[in-house]
């Protein structure tokens, strides 16, 4: 594990160096139409002073609309009406700077879905595994932040190749993975330094104001149907609008819809984010809907985050505590409150 | 002016009385949220529930949204806009008048949390409110803002801050209605080039995620199957195509024309802070100009699109 | 360069304009062939989404025509439609639709001459607007390499 | 890297109208690239996404058996956008199939057992595959007595008539085909599937049941099997839900923690008892 500092006046050089001379696409928190987002940006425009990006960074690996394949209809040419994959060969690898540790953990949860026990999603994998992910620790978690309650930390390291934190006069960095160490070695702007003590101190300070662990022991021990049939779901569902905001901003919501579009020349198959809050999401061709009302749909989301994902991912919580859904829910359905109710 | 604690007290006792008298099985109102500057709608069925009821400047969505889906007798703690929407739903025969009890509460306008955050970028750990002031505090600091400075845009042109005339009972001292929207900005825009108009309206929705939170938060959007969810044919593509998104917003607004009460619930629900009401205002302006109609102000109104006059003027029709 | 030939989607009421188009044909009144007709039972049946859908799919113009006010086969369908048209027309022009793209008319089944005249006018006005760029969905970018 | 979203291109090699209401058609597909047939190695009970360029995909159970070479076969009910489009396609048209997806029936675990296969209506597809597979000379000795109960509303709604009339002639499989009420020209069984099951199902000892059919048939057949003493571990069902990816990623077929596509569609009744009824 190598440790470095980057002086303030060397920051821009360092960010430029991260692109490896333009070979990598550089993504960092930057403002786009009034919102801070993790986007491909100019190294000059990186923001270091922020709570968190407005939306989660999952879109870097799993864009809201992603073309999967295309076909043409020209019967004079070869292979008409045969789909050919798109976007797998030419994708330039990414380097992400400024991932919050909660979001990096969210990507790990997604990764275990996109690369599950039976199938590997090549569109995700080609982007995710080639990316270098450099985190930026949180010094000043926001009121709705609760990563510490679900097993994370504002200085958490999961899913990251290196973690940085802001200090007087610049940044400090610690590499976390072999790939991260290899990638950062010798980059312009970096100076070797001992930062261990400072990191430990800052980590402790940041965690001090944060909530303690959210007890999910009963949820973990209970049968699915026991939690599913709890009476509190109806109360929460009363006020849920099924608007889906929570799913669109969630770093671990990975559901999508596959759609075809075509014109006279050919067609595309693409995937678009979808939401379990939608009536259309589960409705069968026959009109039967296995989740007919908002109660089932709202319950599905919380069961998925807090019961199903832990069951499928060795106990790892499907919620990583970024607080986006808590802040943006128009009717203040707070996942922490729901988690407490589920735990009895 | 009634103080907020007083107002809350009155709301709570009204709610308890309604439950006790059997005038309602449930009273829908607001309670304190779990984070600063949030409130949560609450469905009160017990006295304990009623004790949580509050009036807050931070209320977000229009509570009438819940009414068409609610089967029984229901009371609603309603600001002017909530009450107007509820009346609209009765007029549109989505709910029965006998099943609805409106507890009207005088409103001095709601605040826009986004504007507060723009003025106060530090993490806000707590917020206190009274009728005219918002007090904020964080790690080692505190400040206060006049509510007037951070009012929601729709609240600045509210013609029915107090649901007088339609409420079954009224709590608080009636607040004066404000001058109606003069649509000055839209009138100015109308004089600009087609390109400028298009750029403005397409620009408004370029961040749209198509989550349809605006639709779900809207008290007018009670269709069993929304046109965006229709599949045969599928009217709208599901991708982030600009025109699909734009069409959604045009049709959403069109479906609300002559019905929108400018509650701002759509904008409050939008996770991307899109100024959705700009589309609605376009049509509101026309509805008022052509038919002088404001929805939700009385029980016996006829919505303009359900009727006609033989002499409706439409000189663009050849 | 050859002159731009617009594609126009026309929504005609079954009881009047559709008949007028028929009569114009039988009467050998020539009119431009740039529109494709969708027959409706009444203009009241016209959902605004049809108009937007037509533009979205690349129509350069849309023309809606029904019975004169007072002459509706269903008594008041066109009166109701007129109110919808007033709002829709206002909204689309307010958001930047060229005024010459969207046309409304009342043409009874006897008015073959009016039909001919308005058909010509509609086509010319849409032609003057040029191809619909702003209200159509972007061409699909198939991203396929040219295959032999 | 294998791309599980990419369908194998296939050509419709034959199609047949399966039922009198014309809502069911059986399609046989041949692979455009012969090598894909080996890659598409499946077992009875699995499904595939029928993928029509420009239209979309539908998950359909595979009706052919892997022992039938040179084609894969699907019987499709006309319901939605894609299936309606497919019903209008012709022999020779090119489309795609993607799979095989899901888990097959637990054929290895069933070895040494008596098998009762209960089907209703067009849900018989993957069960046809199972029977064809089981009665192959190399597979038949692995199983005990095989009983097949199949019902439909009318004779004209019974699928795969050629197949089951052949099986009726065999000594190594007990075939009971029934229709709901008397119909001219029908001299077979009359009665609902649960009643027939009650009369002919073998004793539960060392026996497993595989059931596929409309919800109402399952609702009334399940108690019959329970009464006969079948344990919930020995009642095997196949679920269907709206699906898109078929890979356990896109989320919509979730039933509790399980994805119908990736972890199912085959579940035992005792597994289903642990799950919400969101299917």
Q: pLDDT (tens digit, 9 = 90+) per residue, D69-105?
A: 999 999 999 998 999 999 999 999 999 999 899 999 9
Chain-centroid distance, C-alpha D144:
21
Say what the pLDDT of residue D53 is: 94
Q: Is B69 touching D (CB cutoff 8 A)?
A: no
What span, in angstroms and rounded, lies between the C-alpha atoms of D8 and D122?
Answer: 25
How many domains does chain C fold into? 1
Average pLDDT, integer, range C56-81: 94
Q: Is the pLDDT of residue C148 over 70?
A: no
Position C34 confidence tier, pLDDT thresholds 50, 70, 90:
very high
The answer as to whether C43 is a domain residue is yes
What span, in angstroms and rounded, lies between the C-alpha atoms of A42 and A29?
Answer: 10
For residue C72, the domain's CATH number is: 3.40.50
- Residue D240 DSSP class: -
Calculate how close chain B gets to C1, using CA atoms only, in Å. Answer: 26
In this complex, do B286 and C85 lie within 8 Å of one another by their Cβ atoms?
Answer: no
Query: Rounded to 10 degrees, what is the CA torsion of D63, D67, D71, D77?
Result: 0
- Dihedral angle sign, alpha carbons of residues B9, B11, B15, B18: positive
Q: Decide if B268 contacts B61 (C-beta within 8 A).
A: yes
Structure tokens at C45: 């049946």
Chains that touch A (3 or more CB pairs under 8 A): B, C, D
Position C147 confidence tier, pLDDT thresholds 50, 70, 90:
very low
Q: In what order do the strands lie in the sheet with D94-101?
A: D56-61, D47-52, D94-101, D8-17, D24-31, D72-77
Q: Please, what is the end-to-end C-alpha distance for chain A in angstroms?
A: 43
Query: Within 13 A of A144's CA, how many CA atoms are on the CB side?
Result: 21
The answer as to whether C137 is a domain residue is no
What span, in angstroms and rounded, lies between the C-alpha atoms of B157 and B81?
Answer: 12
Q: Max CA-CA distance within chain A?
A: 69
Calculate how close chain C gets to B90, using CA atoms only, in Å. Answer: 21
Q: Which of A80, A85, A117 sits opposite D6 (nearest CB)?
A: A85
Average pLDDT, integer, range D254-270: 93
When computed from its CA atoms, the radius of gyration of chain A, rounded to whole angstroms, is 22
Burial class of residue D273, CB neighbours in 10 A (0-12, 13-18, 19+) = exposed
Q: Decide if D126 contacts D211 (C-beta within 8 A).
A: no
Average pLDDT, integer, range D206-230: 91
Q: Which residues form the domain of C76?
A: 8-129
Of the candidates D156, D154, D102, the residue with the CA atom closest to the CA atom of residue D129: D102
Of the candidates D180, D153, D145, D151, the residue with the CA atom closest to the CA atom of residue D164: D151
Of the candidates D264, D276, D256, the residue with the CA atom closest to the CA atom of residue D239: D264
Chain-centroid distance, C-alpha D76:
11
Calculate the alpha carbon distances from A64 to A95, A159, B241, D115 in Å: 19, 22, 11, 47
Q: Is A50 touching D (CB cutoff 8 A)?
A: no
Q: Enumerate the residues of chain A whose CB falls inside 8 A of the CB of residue D276.
A: 224-225, 228
Say what the pLDDT of residue C2 is: 64
H helices present in A195-293, as ranges: 196-208, 217-221, 224-228, 232-239, 245-249
Calculate how close chain B gets to C127, using CA atoms only, in Å. Answer: 17
Q: Going from the first residue of chain B to its last (318 residues), give the mean pLDDT of each consecutive group of 10, the final group possibly shorter.
A: 87 96 95 93 95 94 92 93 95 94 93 91 90 92 93 92 91 86 91 93 93 94 92 90 94 94 94 94 93 92 93 89
Burial A57-66 (b: 16+ CB within 10 A, else e): bbbbbbbbbb
Q: What is the pLDDT along chain A (344 residues), one digit of tens a residue?
A: 889 999 999 999 999 999 888 889 999 999 988 889 999 998 888 888 888 999 999 999 999 999 999 999 988 888 899 999 998 876 789 999 999 999 999 999 999 999 999 999 999 999 999 999 999 999 888 889 999 999 999 999 999 999 999 998 899 999 999 999 999 988 888 889 899 999 999 999 999 889 899 999 999 999 999 999 999 999 999 999 999 999 999 999 999 999 999 988 899 999 999 999 999 999 998 889 999 999 999 999 999 999 999 999 998 999 999 999 999 999 999 999 999 999 98
What span, in angstroms and rounded, lies between the C-alpha atoms of C21 and D46?
Answer: 56
Structural domains in chain D, sorted by start: 8-101 (2.40.30.10), 114-238 (3.40.50.80)
What span, in angstroms and rounded, lies between the C-alpha atoms of B106 and B96?
Answer: 24
Say what the pLDDT of residue C145 is: 64
Say what the pLDDT of residue D130 is: 95
Q: Enumerate the residues of chain B whose CB falls inside 8 A of the CB of residue A143.
A: 35-36, 123-125
Q: Decide if A65 contacts B239 (C-beta within 8 A).
A: yes
Place of tokens 């072999």: A178
What span, in angstroms and rounded, lies between the C-alpha atoms of B312 and A217?
Answer: 67
> Considering only residues 233 to 272 of chain B, which have any Cβ-Cβ distance to chain D shorter than 8 Å?
234
What span, in angstroms and rounded, lies between the C-alpha atoms of B57 and B131?
Answer: 8
DSSP string, B234-247: --S-SS--HHHHHH
**Long-range contacts for D131-140 (Cβ within 8 Å, ≥24 apart)?**
D131/D163, D131/D167, D131/D173, D132/D44, D132/D64, D132/D65, D132/D67, D132/D68, D132/D163, D133/D43, D133/D44, D133/D65, D133/D66, D133/D67, D133/D107, D134/D107, D135/D167, D135/D170, D135/D172, D135/D173, D136/D65, D136/D67, D139/D67, D140/D172
In this complex, do A286 and D256 lie within 8 Å of one another by their Cβ atoms?
Answer: no
Calculate how close chain A gets to D167, using CA atoms only, in Å. Answer: 32
Q: Is A79 touching C (CB cutoff 8 A)?
A: yes
What span, in angstroms and rounded, lies between the C-alpha atoms of D4 and D249?
Answer: 11
Calculate how close chain B gets to D81, using CA atoms only, in Å. Answer: 7
Interface contacts A/B by beta carbons within 8 Å: 106
Calculate how close chain C gets to A256, using CA atoms only, in Å. Answer: 20
Say what the pLDDT of residue B200 is: 95
Whether D and C touch, i.e. at least 3 CB pairs below 8 A, reads as: no
Q: Is B190 touching C (CB cutoff 8 A)?
A: yes
Name beta bridge partners: A258: A271
Structure tokens at D111: 């070895």
Q: Decide if C47 contacts C37 (C-beta within 8 A).
A: no
Q: What are phi and psi of A61, to 5 degrees?
A: -105, -20
In sequence order, what E strands does D78-113 have? 94-101
The answer as to whether C146 is a domain residue is no
Q: What are phi and psi of A124, to 5 degrees?
A: -70, -50
Strands A25-32 and D254-255: what pairing?
unpaired
Tell me, what's the ipTM? 0.92
DSSP string, B189-231: HHTS-HHHHHHHHHHHTTT-----HHHHH-TT---SS-GGG--
Q: Is A113 touching D (CB cutoff 8 A)?
A: yes
Calculate the alpha carbon distances from A69 to A85, B108, D15, D56 in Å: 4, 54, 27, 12
Q: What are phi and psi of A151, to 5 degrees?
A: 90, 10
In sequence order, what E strands does chain D have? 8-17, 24-31, 47-52, 56-61, 72-77, 94-101, 114-120, 146-152, 174-179, 189-190, 207-212, 235-238, 254-255, 258-259, 266-268
Q: Max CA-CA distance within chain B?
A: 69
Q: Is the pLDDT of residue C139 over 90?
A: no
What span, in angstroms and rounded, lies between the C-alpha atoms of D199 and B174?
Answer: 77
**If DSSP codes are grouped into helix, strand and coil, which group holds residue A249?**
helix
Q: What are phi and psi of C113, to 5 degrees?
A: -70, -40
Q: Is A115 touching D (CB cutoff 8 A)?
A: no
Q: Which of C140, C144, C148 sits opposite A84 (nearest CB)?
A: C144
Q: Enumerate the residues of chain B whose CB falls inside 8 A of the CB of residue A327.
A: 35
DSSP string, B46-106: SHHHHTTEE--TT--S-GGGGGGG--S-EEEEE-HHHHHHHHHHHHTTSS-GGGEEEEEE-
The answer as to whether C120 is a domain residue is yes
Q: Is C124 touching B (CB cutoff 8 A)?
A: no
Calculate the alpha carbon distances from D26 to D29, D60, D84 in Å: 10, 11, 13
The answer as to whether C40 is a domain residue is yes
């Amino acid at each position: 594990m190598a440790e470095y500092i980057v002086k303030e006046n060397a920051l821009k050089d360092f960010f430029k160096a991260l692109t490896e001379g333009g070979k990598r696409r550089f993504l960092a928190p930057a403002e786009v139409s009034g919102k801070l987002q993790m986007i491909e940006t100019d190294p000059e425009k990186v923001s270091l002073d922020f709570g968190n990006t407005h939306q989660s960074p999952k879109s870097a690996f799993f864009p809201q609309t992603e073309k999967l394949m295309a076909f043409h209809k020209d019967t004079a040419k070869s292979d008409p009406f045969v789909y050919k994959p798109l976007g797998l060969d030419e994708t330039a690898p990414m380097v992400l700077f400024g991932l919050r540790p909660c979001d990096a953990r969210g990507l790990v949860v997604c990764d275990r879905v996109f690369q599950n026990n039976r199938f590997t999603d090549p569109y995700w994998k080609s982007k995710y595994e080639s990316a270098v992910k450099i985190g930026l620790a949180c010094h000043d978690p926001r009121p709705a932040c609760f990563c510490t309650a679900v097993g994370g930390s504002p200085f958490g390291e999961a899913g990251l190749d290196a973690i940085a934190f802001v200090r007087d006069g610049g940044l400090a960095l610690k590499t976390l993975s072999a790939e991260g160490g290899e990638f950062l070695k010798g980059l312009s702007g970096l100076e070797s330094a001992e930062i261990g003590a400072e990191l430990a101190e800052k980590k402790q300070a940041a965690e001090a104001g944060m909530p303690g662990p959210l007890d999910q022991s009963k949820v973990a021990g209970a049968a699915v149907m026991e939690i599913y049939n709890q009476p509190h779901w109806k109360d929460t569902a009363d006020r849920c609008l099924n608007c889906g905001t929570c799913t669109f901003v969630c770093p671990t919501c990975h559901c999508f819809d596959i759609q075809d579009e075509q014109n006279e020349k050919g067609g595309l198959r693409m995937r678009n984010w979808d939401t379990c809050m939608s009536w259309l999401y589960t409705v069968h061709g026959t009109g039967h809907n296995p989740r007919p009302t908002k109660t089932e749909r709202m319950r599905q989301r919380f069961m998925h985050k807090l019961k199903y994902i832990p069951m499928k991912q060795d106990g790892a919580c499907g919620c990583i505590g970024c607080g986006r859904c808590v802040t943006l829910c128009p009717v203040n359905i707070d996942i922490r409150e729901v988690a407490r109710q589920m735990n009895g | 002016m009634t103080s907020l604690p007083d107002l809350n007290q009155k709301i709570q006792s009204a709610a308890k009385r309604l439950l006790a008298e059997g005038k309602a099985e449930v009273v829908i109102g607001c309670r304190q949220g779990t984070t600063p500057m949030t409130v949560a709608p609450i469905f009160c069925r017990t006295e304990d529930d009623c004790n949580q009821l509050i009036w807050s400047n931070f209320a977000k969505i229009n509570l009438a949204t819940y009414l068409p889906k609610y089967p029984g007798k229901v009371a609603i703690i309603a600001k002017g806009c909530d009450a107007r929407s509820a009346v609209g739903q009765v007029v549109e025969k989505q709910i029965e008048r006998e099943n609805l009890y409106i507890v009207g509460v005088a409103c001095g306008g709601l605040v826009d949390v986004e504007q507060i955050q723009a003025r106060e970028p530090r993490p806000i750990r707590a917020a206190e409110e009274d009728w005219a002031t918002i007090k904020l505090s964080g790690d080692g600091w505190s400040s206060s803002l006049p509510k007037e400075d951070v009012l929601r845009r729709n609240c600045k042109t509210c013609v029915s801050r107090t649901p007088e005339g339609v409420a079954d009972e009224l709590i608080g001292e009636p607040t004066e209605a404000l001058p109606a929207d003069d649509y000055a900005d839209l009138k100015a825009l109308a004089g600009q080039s087609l390109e400028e108009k298009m750029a403005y309206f397409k620009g408004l929705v370029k961040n749209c995620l198509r989550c349809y939170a605006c639709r779900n938060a809207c008290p007018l959007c009670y269709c069993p199957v929304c046109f965006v969810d229709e599949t045969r044919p599928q009217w709208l593509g599901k991708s982030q195509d600009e025109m699909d998104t734009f069409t959604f917003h045009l049709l959403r607004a069109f479906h609300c024309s002559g019905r929108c009460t400018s509650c701002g619930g759509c904008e409050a629900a939008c996770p991307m802070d899109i100024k959705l009401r700009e589309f609605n205002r376009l049509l509101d302006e026309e509805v008022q100009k052509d038919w002088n109609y404001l929805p939700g102000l009385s029980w016996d109104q006829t919505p303009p699109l359900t009727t006609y006059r033989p002499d409706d003027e439409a000189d663009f029709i050849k | 360069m050859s002159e731009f030939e617009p594609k126009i989607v026309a929504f005609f009421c079954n009881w009047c304009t559709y008949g007028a188009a028929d009569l114009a044909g039988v009467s050998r009144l020539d009119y431009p062939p740039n529109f494709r007709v969708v027959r409706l039972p009444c203009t009241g049946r016209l959902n605004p989404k049809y108009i937007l859908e037509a533009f979205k799919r690349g129509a350069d113009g849309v023309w809606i025509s029904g019975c004169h006010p007072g002459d509706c086969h269903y008594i008041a369908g066109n009166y109701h439609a007129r109110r919808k048209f007033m709002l829709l027309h206002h909204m689309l022009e307010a958001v930047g639709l060229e005024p010459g793209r969207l046309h409304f008319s009342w043409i009874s089944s006897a008015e073959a001459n009016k039909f001919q005249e308005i058909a010509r006018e509609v086509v010319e006005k849409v032609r003057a607007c040029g191809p619909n760029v702003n209200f159509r969905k972007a061409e699909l970018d198939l991203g396929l390499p040219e295959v032999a | 890297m294998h791309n599980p979203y990419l369908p194998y291109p296939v050509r419709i090699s034959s199609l047949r109208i399966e039922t009198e209401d014309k809502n069911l058609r059986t399609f046989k597909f041949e692979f455009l690239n012969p090598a894909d047939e080996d890659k598409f190695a499946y077992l009875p009970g699995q499904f595939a996404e029928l993928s029509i360029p420009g239209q979309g995909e539908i998950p359909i159970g595979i009706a052919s058996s892997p022992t039938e070479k040179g084609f894969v076969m699907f019987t499709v009910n006309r319901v939605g956008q894609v299936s309606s489009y497919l019903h209008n396609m012709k022999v020779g048209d090119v489309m795609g199939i993607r799979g095989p997806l899901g888990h097959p029936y637990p054929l290895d675990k069933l070895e040494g057992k008596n098998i009762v296969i209960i089907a209703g209506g067009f849900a018989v597809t993957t069960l046809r595959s199972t029977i064809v597979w089981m009665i192959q000379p190399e597979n038949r000795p692995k199983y005990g007595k095989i009983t097949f109960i199949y019902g439909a509303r009318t004779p004209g709604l019974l699928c795969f008539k050629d197949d089951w009339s052949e099986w009726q002639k065999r000594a190594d499989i007990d075939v009971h085909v029934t229709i709901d009420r008397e119909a001219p020209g029908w001299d077979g069984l009359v009665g609902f599937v649960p009643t027939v099951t009650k009369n002919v199902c073998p004793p539960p000892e060392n026996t497993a049941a595989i059931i596929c059919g409309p919800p109402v048939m399952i609702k009334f057949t399940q108690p019959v099997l329970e009464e006969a003493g079948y344990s919930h571990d020995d009642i095997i069902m196949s679920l269907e839900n709206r699906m898109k990816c078929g890979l356990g990623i896109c989320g919509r077929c979730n039933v509790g923690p399980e994805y119908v596509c990736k972890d199912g569609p085959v579940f035992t009744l005792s597994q289903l008892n642990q799950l919400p009824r969101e299917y």
